[in-house]
Structure 1
Amino acid sequence: MTPPSNPSVANDQSVDALIKTIRIPPRPSMLIDVQTELACKEPDPRRLAATIANDVALAASLLKLTNSPFFGLRLKASSVEHAVHLLGMRQCGLLMTGIIARQSVQVSKVSLVKFWDFSSKRAQAMAHLATHMRVCSTDMAHTFGLFCDIGIPLLLEKFAGYQKTLDLAHQEFENNFTLIEEQRHSTSHTSIGALMARTWGLPEEVSTAILLHHDYDILSDGATSETVRSLIALALVAEYSIHKYHGEETLAEWDKGGQSACDFLGLGNDELEDRFEELHDVFNHAH
């Protein structure tokens, strides 16, 4: 075997140097506290509520979400402790992770409203699909749906021309999405997103799925974890359903991986259409 040539080694070093210049938000102490409580042998709802209530802004956001039409609760939560009681600890943990991510990932000069709206819809859709199809845990599906594209705002902040890269990649029906990013910036939102997921202590399957989610050949690779492949397939179905919900029938990523996702999940055309209808109901009730 021939040893690697020096230029490739130099190139690897320059990519490493580049990644070090991209600001990945550190895991906030509030998230560490929430994750620590949920990881206890006997997590305590009162302790979790007290932790969340320490941050007035986060507590207010949690109450607003709990009382939103999406959950359709008969009772309105009157306090953080009441919200934890109504939703359950795990659901509160998921909501807090999302709220904290929104707060931590900001881009100067660019509004992330559409980005977070899409991410929230994808998380809702994936949680719904996971509950009904039982291919992976609902919690993991929701977390992946929320963090799947978290590298995008980090790269928007780093590179002035990254929005142009995104536009080109979204219109690419042949080549891998990340190939366009690599060619233009020597990195991709999947690499940066996986790095952030690890930094934030998310499950290993989530960070692996973030890294691989544009590589649809992985769906037929038996050596890759079933959970990782399930997350990638569910995300594609969820994203296509969001596009259809907004009246957009074509999606380059669906053209590239839709059939593989359906094959992996065992979804025929009729069942797929039924799933889309269910998800559109979910989206309607979330407003």
Structure 2
Amino acid sequence: MNNLAVLAQPDADPVDALIKSIRIPPRPSLLADLQRELASHEPSPAAIGRTIASDVGMAGALLKLANSSFYGGKRQAKSVDQAIAFLGINQVAALMAGLLARQAIVSGNVSLAAFWDLSTRRAQAMVFLSRRLRIGAPDVAHTFGLFCDTGVALLLDRFDGYGVTFDIACADDARRFTDIEDERHSTNHAAIGCLLARNWGLSANVAWAILHHHDYSVIDDRASDDAVRSLVALSLLAERALQAYQGHVQSLEWEKGGARACAYLGLAEDEVTDLVDQLLDAFSH
């Protein structure tokens, strides 16, 4: 199935009815308020702080995350305003988007605790790689890393047999992950994740990278935005580290697209190994 066609022609065929049957949570009002302020001519850290502080639960969760070893370092924020001062408004907004996603995306069929743990690790890995390789904006990398597999959670809730599909796709060393999903369910997690990103007002580059994050030919496509190509390439590095973190000796997705990622990022194999080792060390802390 051509996912681009589905997205471009929402009223085309029965696939549209299928897409509409998948519950995509509406954009949280708190996120809309943050995005509105960020889009203003001169975003106000104080206004953003007040917006976040209006939800005590979210403010507390943000402080806990901002003070974690991965983001907080030696500085411990005691208020939302301090978290914004330490991390910057864009990184704080990215963290808030993740917290709100975790609250909004739930499943009545399975526990998503392991899913969110892995998504959080992926987002952290994307931030680390963006900073270390000085490619793109870390907050954009974080948002992509957290949201790129949200379609998985939504499909788990929609299809009783999607867990089997997911396992089959994870174990296939030749076919594209999304092709297997399309074959079994007439849609895939990349397309659904892209729709959620659009509905939630995430950047076009993030939405487009989500749509193509299993289509590694996009890395070589000079017609695609460099930000999209970079996110997909970095996601392969992150995936290799995540597989090692889970105790796997091999990353099938890296085997499918790793050479393209290395060529695009200008990395030799020993440099990739070093980055993965550094990420594993960061995860252990």
TM range, normalised to the smaller chain? over 0.9
Shift of 1:198: 0.5
Contact 2:171 2:252 in 1 (8 A): yes
Length-normalised TM-score, structure 1: 0.92
- In structure 2, what residue type is equivalent to 1:200? W
Match of 1:4 in 2: none
Is contact 2:94-2:140 (8 Å) kept?
no
Return 169-178 or 72-81, whichever deviates more: 72-81
- Distance in 2, matches of 1:218 and 1:91, equals 26
Q: Matches of 1:227 and 1:136 in 2, distance apart?
A: 7
TM-score of the aligned structures, taking structure 2 as reference length: 0.92
Q: How does 1:28-107 map to 2 (within 5 A)?
A: 28-107=28-107
* Pair 1:130 & 2:130 matched: yes
Residue in 1 aligned with 2:218? 218
- Give SS of 1:260's match: helix
Q: CA deviation at 1:123?
A: 1.0
Alignment of 1:13-28 (within 5 A): 13-28=13-28
Contact 2:216–2:260 at 8 Å: present in 1 too? yes
Q: Which aligned pairs between 1:252-271 and structure 2 lie closer than 5 A? A: 252-271=252-271
Aligned length: 276
**Which deviates more from structure 2 when the two are superposed, residues 246-255 or residues 192-201?**
246-255
The percent identity for this pair of structures is: 50
Structure-2 residue corresponding to 1:152? 152
1:21-73: per-residue Cα shift (whole Å, max 9, x none)? 11111111100011111222222121111111111111111121122222344
Cα distance, 1:281 vs structure 2: 2.3
CA distance in 1 between counterparts of 2:73 and 2:250 reads 35
Counterpart of 1:248 in structure 2 is: 248
Q: Following the alignment from structure 1 to structure 2, what is the Cα–Cα distance between the partners of residues 147 and 72? A: 22
Matched residue type, 1:253: E
Partner letter of residue 76 of structure 1? Answer: Q
1:197 is aligned to 2:197: yes
8 Å contact from structure 2 (residues 156, 162) kept in 1:
yes
Q: What amino acid sits opposite 1:252 in the alignment?
A: L
Residue number in structure 1 paired with 2:6: none
Cα distance in 1 between the residues matched to 2:157 and 2:248? 28
Q: Any unmatched runs of 5+ in structure 2? A: 1-8
- Residue by residue over 1:187-225, the C-alpha shift from the partner in whole angstroms, topping out at 9 and shown as x without a partner, is 000111000001111110111111111111222122222
Bigger Rg, structure 1 or 2: 1
Distance in 2, matches of 1:191 and 1:153, equals 13
Report the CA distance between 1:245 and its aligned residue.
2.5
User: Which whole-Å deviations, capped at 9, do the CAs of 1:202-257 have from their partners, x for residues lacking one?
Assistant: 11011111111111122212222211111001001101111112321112211211
1-structure distance, mates of 2:222, 2:87: 36
Measured after TM superposition, the shift of residue 145 of structure 1 is: 0.6
Q: Compute the displacement of 1:75 (Å).
A: 4.1
Q: Is contact 2:155-2:189 (8 Å) kept?
A: yes
Letter in 2 for 1:225: D
Q: Which residue of 2 aligns with 1:282?
A: 282
- Aligned match of 1:176: 176
